[in-house]
Amino acid sequence: DDADTAADTDGTRDGPESDSDRTEDSPRGAAASDSEPARRPDRSETEPDRSETEPDRSETEPDRGDRTASDTGESTSPGDEDVFSEEEQWREQKSIPALDPEQASPPPNRGRESGATNGDQERSVEPRSTEQRSSNRAAVAQRSSSRGSAGQSAERSTARIDELESALETANEARESLEAERDRLAAERDEIAGERDEFADEIDRLESEMSTLREERDRLREELSSVRDRLPESDRSLTAAEAREGTNLFVRYDSKGGATLEDAHDGAVERDALRENLRIEHHTSFETDGLAVEGRPYEEFLRDTIEYGFTRWLVEDLPFEVSETGSQSVLRDLYDALPEIDRAEIGGSASIAIREGGEETREQRPFDLVLRDRMGNPLFVADLNDSRDPTAEGTLESLVSNGRDIAESNDSFAAAFAVTESFFEPGALETASDAVGGGLFSRSKRASFVKLSRKRGYHLCLVEARDGGFHMTVPDL
């Protein structure tokens, strides 16, 4: 501001005196005018750069303005040129080199300007002051722009740093997540590897077992082939159930004069004598020649059935077991009916009479085995269990109920048998105990007797098949 004020003052002072100075020094003024167009462009090109690089020039400008004003107010003298030359030298010493090489080069008309007339200096004072103010404003604007650019650059740098820090944090989180996923997959891999090893061991075991089974299969094939070679030629075959249903067994003797069931009942013959004379023959509703049942000849199949074995035990062994244990009296009805056995019907049925509303009807009750006398009257019935499953309570309940009905309808009926190749469940034993009234080991005149009336009833017997033989467990002989 002081520089601007000094420049304005110099312009005012130089105003009245510039006309007389130009009149008195017309030849020099003319010469200066002639040279002005050549010098002015050079000064205007170099002056702004000096203003921008001289921050302290404004402080010294008032003194220069005073000197210029006093000097121009006087007549031109040779000392004026020295004053201007000293000022130019001072300005050159205070100026800062410009960055632009073109502006930093020395002005070509510097020598002529040092010898310019007093009139030239008067005319150049006002333009330099104006140029100086413009240069100051440009320098301030440039500094403000630089500060603004620096602030924006700092803001951009801070934003970029925040962005990079956020990206780094995201990357760290992603890395931790991937590490956790890696650990999980590694654990899963180890677990799968363990399962793989277990499966490999299982495969080895199964392959070994398969090899053993193949050897067993080959052995059985050879055995089957050998058995087939021994089988007779058969044209027909039946299932086991079909073969049983069409078969009846008959009790016959080789000789009428030999040992019979009557003789065994009376105690007149031994067991071996009876066995030698007694035969169990079969009668079928189908031809047995060349017949196979489940791959076996019919006769072989029949002898291995529980029906055939129980029938032989009943007529060949039971009479002697009763007599040898002295149980003839407690099992009197059963013991007296043994000599009357004539045949055994496999899968047969017994007829019962049902009286309702004064009318009598007949009904058939099926059993696994029914033993009859020569007249066809039922003497014994039996429910047979040739499976590994135990005989259940329900089987005994049905046998007791059907036995009651048969006993009420047939005076010849003596006993009902429950036969098993397994064992009797506790519930079945309890049912039998309740049926006979007073327990299986009661001291009544008749053992294991289901009483219907004072004189009528039947024996309930439980038999177990063991190792091809039969043993009566109820009553215990």
Interval 197-223: pLDDT, tens:
999 999 999 999 999 999 999 999 998
On whether both 116 and 256 belong to a single domain, the answer is no
Residue 173 within a domain: no
Alpha helices by DSSP H, listed for 257-386, are 261-266, 271-277, 298-303, 306-316, 318-324, 332-337
Residue 315 within a domain: yes
Residue 128 within a domain: yes
pLDDT at 453: 81
On whether both 118 and 6 belong to a single domain, the answer is yes
What average pLDDT does the segment 105-134 reach? 51
Residue 324 within a domain: yes
Residue 175 within a domain: no
What average pLDDT does the segment 37-62 reach? 41
Indicate the residue among 143, 164, 191 that finishes a domain.
143
Q: Per residue in 370-401, pLDDT tens?
A: 999 999 999 999 999 999 899 999 999 999 99
| 326 φ/ψ sector (left φ>0, alpha ψ -120 to 50, else beta) | left
Residue 442 within a domain: yes
The DSSP secondary-structure symbol of 424 reads: B
* 116-138 residues labelled b (16+ CB within 10 A) or e (exposed): bbbbbbbbbbeebbebbbebbee
User: Looking at the predicted structure, is the pLDDT value of residue 33 above 70?
Assistant: no
User: Looking at the predicted structure, is the pLDDT value of residue 476 above 90?
Assistant: no
pLDDT at 72: 41
Residue 225 within a domain: no
Q: Percent of the chain at pLDDT above 70?
A: 66
| Lowest mean per-residue pLDDT among 106-115, 225-234, 272-281, 309-318 | 106-115
pLDDT at 263: 93
How confident is residue 155, by pLDDT bands cut at 50, 70 and 90?
Answer: confident
pLDDT at 156: 87
On whether both 279 and 410 belong to a single domain, the answer is yes
pLDDT at 466: 85
| Lowest mean per-residue pLDDT among 106-115, 171-180, 354-363 | 106-115
What average pLDDT does the segment 112-119 reach? 46
Could you give the C-alpha distances from 219 to 123, 208, 215, 342, in angstroms and in order? 139, 17, 6, 46
pLDDT at 90: 61
User: Looking at the predicted structure, is the pLDDT value of residue 345 above 90?
Assistant: yes
Q: Which single residue is written with the structure tokens 């310019």?
A: 116
What average pLDDT does the segment 437-452 reach? 70
How confident is residue 152, by pLDDT bands cut at 50, 70 and 90?
Answer: confident
pTM over 0.75: no
On whether both 251 and 125 belong to a single domain, the answer is no
Please name the amino acid found at residue 322.
V
For residue 92, give the 3-state DSSP assignment.
helix
Q: What CA–CA distance (Å, rounded) separates 43 from 367? A: 147
How confident is residue 140, by pLDDT bands cut at 50, 70 and 90?
Answer: low
Indicate the residue among 107, 127, 143 that finishes a domain.
143
In total, the chain counts a number of residues equal to: 477
On whether both 253 and 374 belong to a single domain, the answer is yes
What average pLDDT does the segment 245-262 reach? 92
On whether both 468 and 339 belong to a single domain, the answer is yes
What average pLDDT does the segment 330-351 reach? 94
pLDDT at 98: 52
On whether both 254 and 391 belong to a single domain, the answer is yes
pLDDT at 10: 44
Indicate the residue among 143, 162, 180 that finishes a domain.
143
On whether both 309 and 444 belong to a single domain, the answer is yes
| Lowest mean per-residue pLDDT among 140-154, 252-266, 330-344 | 140-154
Please name the amino acid found at residue 422.
S
pLDDT at 92: 60
Which of the pair, 178 or 96, is modelled with greater confidence? Answer: 178
What average pLDDT does the segment 108-121 reach? 46
Q: What CA–CA distance (Å, rounded) separates 121 from 366? A: 157
Q: What CA–CA distance (Å, rounded) separates 145 from 135? A: 15
Here the tokens at position 423 are 């064992």
Alpha helices by DSSP H, listed for 95-117, are 101-104, 110-114
Here the tokens at position 251 are 């009790």
Residue 105 within a domain: yes
Note down the domain range covering 20.
2-143
Q: Domain count for the chain, please give it.
A: 2
